[in-house]
Homo-oligomer: A and B are copies of this chain.
Amino acid sequence: MESVVQVSGTVISRPPGQENPKMPTGEIEIKVKTAKLLNSCKKLPFEIKDFVKKTEALRLRYRYLDLRGVQMQYNLRLRSQMVMKMREYLCNLHGFVDIETPTLFKRTPGGAKEFVIPSREPGKFYSLPQSPQQFKQLLMVGGLDRYFQVARCYRDEGSRPDRQPEFTQIDIEMSFVEQTGIQSLIEGLLQYSWPSDKDPVVVPFPSMTFAEALASYGTDKPDTRFGMKIVDISDMFRNTKVGFLQDALSKPQGTIKAICIPEGEKYLKRKDIESIRKFAADHFNQEVLPIFLKTNNNWNSPVAKFIMEEQGLGLIRLLETQEEDVVLLTAGEHKKACSLLGKLRLECADLLEARGVVLRDPALFSFLWVVDFPLFFPKEENPEELEAAHHPFTAPHPSDVHLLYTEPQKVRSQHYDLVLNGSEIGGGSIRIHDAELQHYILATVLKEDVKLLSHLLQALDYGAPPHGGIAIGLDRLMCLVTGAPSIRDVIAFPKSFQGHDLMSNAPDSIPPEELKPYHIQVSWPTDSKTEKSSLNHPCHPES
């Protein structure tokens, strides 16, 4: 098994009855004249067959064997083909120039997630950039008006499932372009490069504002393959006598929201409802009220019964409910209530599908543009201060520019996200091309160290054209296209979620003399003995 042999002979048809239509070569065989063993295979750690279950740790440790499997071969070959089609579209059909930008760069403001690389100058470090953002804008200043790159990017987020410390994006920037220009370019790009064994991509993609996405789906990346949208039912309850609803509505931004689970009465079990309520209480400190439309079925909930009696017809009309549906109702601050119901919507969809309901067609690819994001968000640790919602180079929405100087938190941006089946696969924006405005946002609004970006600010002053762009996350996109369970299945040699290469055992310890030229030394933790000795062990298997 799995040894390499060289055979010469004559290709003949298989004897009648011995054909195997499941094999690509199942109709023929070779009448062997000579055979030579080129390399033998020793005992395999697992069988190279797709139906043989193995842990991911074992697969990653023997990645070179795992790659021989049908699924990994398909994933990597399809990835290569799709990227090639994208290049043809951009380079040959639309005059883009493929330009490589440096990965040995300097840290960016707030770049806490950037890997550092010591240089031979004491105390000086390169940083691995999270994206070619600055370089692509500088290329626009440099008159390379249509740039793209299949760019390696780096982000050190510690241990995170389904994140990789290095990842790839299709990085694009254009001069003299507006939001719609980038959007139709990307729609064409995906349509052109889409695998021929899938249903063709329909363009243009629908578009939704950030506010609408939050209100109807409780997230900025709605999965639009199915309904169960969030409905605001506040108006129906203006005169309610139920205390906690009155209470919620009396507060600022107070709302009552609901989603309808189709046939929930049939598919959701009592313990599902209980875990839903527990989730809402634990993660959102929110009450969720399940309402069964057959009123007699509202398990010990007098409130639900009362609501059905009082607002039943209104609920049925607004939520378009059927008899066996279940309504989940919550009351509270708009954003919080939407976020919670958005999570429950996905949770319930999973539950229904686990019980055999087909909510999301596996052959369906549902693209969506989300637009009109806020330009800034309040900082989590200090809501008085603002941070860039995406990055500090995003241009404000033209209708909101005047608010920058008075109510910056209200300014919408010219940022756009591309969402596929509920995953964000890309994002971009029209950029600021005016040095003064860029300086104002960096220094006054965001209070960043402007010195770190002086080269970019300076460049904008030398006749920078208006420009904008986008980046598509290639790993995530390929994961969705191939239906792979993890982005590790569309990357040849991925890291484990702890950032390890389980095959070669990277990262590894390094002799101190090899650190000397870089003027650094290791700061061992105080219980350094245990830490040090563990370095000599191979890294632990990870799941």
Check if B518 sits within 8 Å of A116, measured CB to CB: yes
A17 interface residue (CB < 8 Å to B): no
Q: What 0/1 pattern do residues 159 to 172 of A give for CB contact below 8 A with B?
A: 00000011010000
Across the interface, name the chain B residue whose C-beta is closest to A99.
Answer: B492
Distance between A431 CB and nearest chain B CB, rounded to angstroms: 12
Specify which of A4, A87, A102, A106 lies most central, judged by the most chain B CB atoms within 10 Å of its CB. Answer: A102
Q: How far is the CA of A125 from the CA of B460 in the complex (A)?
A: 38
A154, B38: Cα distance in complex, Å: 34
Interface string of A508-521 (1 = CB under 8 A from B): 11100011101111
Q: Which of A73, A101, A514 has the most CB of B within 10 A?
A: A514
Which residues of chain A from 122 to 166 have a CB within 8 Å of any chain B CB?
122-128, 134-135, 138-139, 141-144, 152, 154, 156, 158, 165-166
Query: In angstroms, how far is the closest chain B Cβ from the Cβ of A246?
Result: 49
Q: Is the CB of A510 within 8 A of B116?
A: yes
A531-B44 contact in complex given A39-B434, A97-B80, A115-B117, C-beta closer than 8 Å:
no
Determine how close the nearest CB of chain B comes to the CB of A117; give it in whole angstroms.
5
Q: Which of A235-243, A334-342, A345-353, A496-504 makes up part of the contact surface? A: A496-504
Query: Ordered nearest first, which 8 A-B pairs have the shortest CB separation?
Result: A67-B142, A41-B463, A106-B506, A124-B507, A64-B141, A119-B507, A106-B508, A80-B98
The reply to whether A521 and B520 form a contact with Cβ atoms under 8 Å apart is: yes
Give A contacts to B, CB under 8 Å. 2-4, 38-42, 44, 62-68, 72-73, 76-77, 80-81, 83-84, 87-88, 91-92, 97-107, 112, 115-128, 134-135, 138-139, 141-144, 152, 154, 156, 158, 165-166, 168, 433-434, 452, 455, 459-466, 491-493, 495, 499, 501, 503-510, 514-516, 518-525, 528, 531-532, 535
The oligomer's copy count stands at: 2
Complex: how many Å from CA A514 to CA B516? 20
Residues of B within 8 A of A105 (CB): 501, 504, 506
Interfacial chain B residues near A492, Cβ < 8 Å: 99-101, 135, 139, 142, 144
Chain B hits for A80, CB < 8 A: 91, 97-99
Report the minimal beta-carbon distance from A421 to chain B, rounded to whole angstroms.
24
Bound: A499/B491 CA distance, A? 31
Which residue in B92, B460, B463 is a CB contact (below 8 Å) of A3?
B463
25 interchain pairs, CB-CB under 8 A: A4-B465, A41-B462, A62-B462, A65-B142, A65-B462, A68-B143, A76-B99, A83-B98, A100-B152, A102-B166, A104-B166, A112-B514, A116-B117, A119-B499, A120-B156, A121-B507, A123-B509, A124-B507, A142-B492, A152-B152, A452-B508, A520-B520, A520-B521, A520-B522, A521-B521
> B residues within 8 A CB of A509?
123-125
The answer to whether B463 and A73 have CB atoms under 8 Å apart is no
Q: Which of B4, B460, B495 contacts A102 (CB 8 A)?
A: B495
How far, in Å, is A498 (CB) from chain B's closest CB?
Answer: 9
Nearest neighbor of A453 in chain B, beta-carbon distance:
B504
Collect the chain B residues with CB atoms within 8 Å of residue A465's CB. Answer: 4, 38-39
Q: Which of A41, A64, A66, A138 has the most CB of B within 10 A?
A: A64
Q: Are B64 and A522 neighbours in the complex by a CB distance under 8 Å?
A: no
Contact yes or no, A67 B144, CB < 8 A: yes
**Taking the nearest CB of chain B, how far is it from the CB of A529, in angstroms?**
12
Instruction: Contact check, A462 vs B510: say whether CB atoms are below 8 A apart.
Output: no
Residues of B within 8 A of A117 (CB): 115-117, 128, 507
Q: Whole-angstrom distance from the CB of A520 to the nearest CB of chain B? A: 5
Partner of A42, one of B73, B462, B519: B462
